[in-house]
Amino acid sequence: MKVLVTGAAGFIGSHFCEALAEQDHEVIGLDNFSNYYSVALKKKNAETLEKKGISMIAADLLNPEFSVEIPENINYIFHFAAQPGIDRNTSFDAYLNNNFIATQNLLKFAEKLPDLKMFVHISTSSVYGQMATSAETEVTLPVSDYGVTKLAAEQLVLARSRLGILKATSLRLYSVFGPRERPDKLFTRLIDCALNDKEFPLFENSLKHIRSFTYVEDIVNGVLAVMGKEEQCNNEVFNIGSEHEYTTREGVDSVEKITGKKIKMKILEPRPGDQLRTNANIEKARKILGYHPKTSLYKGLEKQVAWFKNC
């Protein structure tokens, strides 16, 4: 199959491209190499992918000419590209443009593809709001610009499938971690602080937050599982994540145990829009996709620490 992956040079997207290539799919990766975090890290990921035979295109979905180099005989689109995270320094326009308008532009391109089997939108547990413990049919209550715009993009995609324009599904991912995790995310920062004797910026009361921390390989396997299940997945939403809950405190303790270092904390004011609890209800994904995440937080963090030391 010929597969287009947006956000291919990012954390999850790069892992997903590798998994596709290992299954002998022809992979075309697209990334705008934004400066939200180190462009050098993204270029390093892209170089790794190119060495594995994956074609990389530097293009921005907000540019009307983004599709010039993309062939028309695409069979699947996996849309990872987005303005990520909850960041006080990120404007609403950045979330709106990169999460919603960019998705609309990609959909317009997808509608013209004669061989497209499925458009797979990568969403987030943030659409549920502060307590992300719901099944896919329950009400979404996002409390951040990130969650609001990701939910809007999700509905934009699903509207196309409701109208019969194309087959589409949306996957809501939960607290992904592992090698190549962005430098602004929890565990990469914790590991950096532990190994390099830095202060970790801890939002007040966040040690009590509960998360379905999910190892990136388990996420990738869940996303891959939609391929070949177009009829079962069309116009459906799936939660993809671990059923196991951990507090942020347990995450900190695990990093300290693995590195053998105590992490110094700098307490910051609580972050608006942060989730208090995520727990992936994956009954639907288990039943339809055969999804079974396997990696524990500790085992995954051992791999992430090893990667950090060698990167």
Is residue 192 within 8 A of residue 259, CB to CB? The reply is no
- Tokens 């196991």, residue located: 244
Mean pLDDT, the chain, rounded, equals 96
Active-site hit among 36, 146, 215, 246: 146
pLDDT at 132 over 90: yes
What are the chain's domains?
A: 2-174+215-241+280-287 (3.40.50.720)
Instruction: Give dist(CA 180, CA 48) in Å, integer.
Output: 12
pLDDT at 272 over 80: no
Q: What is the largest CA-CA distance in the chain?
A: 56
Instruction: Verify whether residue 146 is a known catalytic residue.
Output: yes
Task: Assign 76 a pLDDT band (cuts: 50, 70, 90).
Answer: very high
pLDDT of residue 194: 97
Quote the radius of gyration of the chain (alpha carbons, Å).
Answer: 19
Instruction: Give dist(CA 302, CA 288) in Å, integer.
Output: 31
pLDDT of residue 276: 84
Is residue 217 within 8 A of residue 15, CB to CB? The reply is yes
Average pLDDT over residues 75-80: 98
pLDDT at 273 over 80: no
Is residue 265 within 8 A of residue 274, CB to CB? The reply is no
Query: Mean pLDDT highest for which of 81-85, 100-104, 276-280?
Result: 100-104
Instruction: Give dist(CA 232, CA 248) in Å, integer.
Output: 35
List C-alpha distances in Å: 263 to 29, 188, 194, 208, 253: 37, 13, 5, 17, 9
Residue among 85, 101, 104 nearest 173 (CA): 85
- Tokens 């105590």, residue located: 262
Task: Assign 274 a pLDDT band (cuts: 50, 70, 90).
Answer: confident
pLDDT of residue 151: 98
pLDDT digits (tens, 9 = 90+) for 192-214: 999 999 999 988 888 899 999 99
Instruction: Give dist(CA 154, CA 127) in Å, integer.
Output: 10
